[in-house]
Copies of this chain bind each other. A is one copy, B any other.
């Protein structure tokens, strides 16, 4: 997306989150990704980033159950509508993965 419109943003979106934050010790990568999924589902209006982070979480070995549980729990902290919305995103991403087998 950013190629024409905002080429530097394509770099920022990598550099600070992944270069600085994700490279830090103190939180293992699986837990980082589950807490990221939790934050994105709670914020609620971020289907594309939430879908991407579910994919990253699967890639580093988070289980399907861990991801679903993390998003269901959003119902407590940010209300049922955001949990419903997050589960809809998870359903699509998890279907892609199963479909690929």
Q: Which residues of A contact B (CB under 8 A)?
A: 1-2, 4-6, 8-9, 12-13, 15-17, 20-21, 24-27, 31-32, 34-46, 48-50, 63, 65-66, 68-70, 72-85, 87-88, 90-91, 94
Q: Complex formed: what's the CA distance from A13 to B83 in Å? A: 10
Q: 8 tightest CB-CB pairs across the interface, nearest first?
A: A46-B81, A35-B38, A26-B65, A39-B42, A27-B69, A38-B38, A39-B77, A42-B42
| A32 with B72, Cβ < 8 A, contacts A38-B38, A38-B39, A82-B45 known | no
* A65 contact set on B, CB distance < 8 A: 25-27
The binding surface of chain A is classed by DSSP as helix
This chain: copies in complex: 6
Q: Is the CB of A49 within 8 A of B8?
A: no
Nearest B residue (CB) for A6: B68
Nearest B residue (CB) for A8: B24
* A75 contact set on B, CB distance < 8 A: 9, 12-13, 21, 79
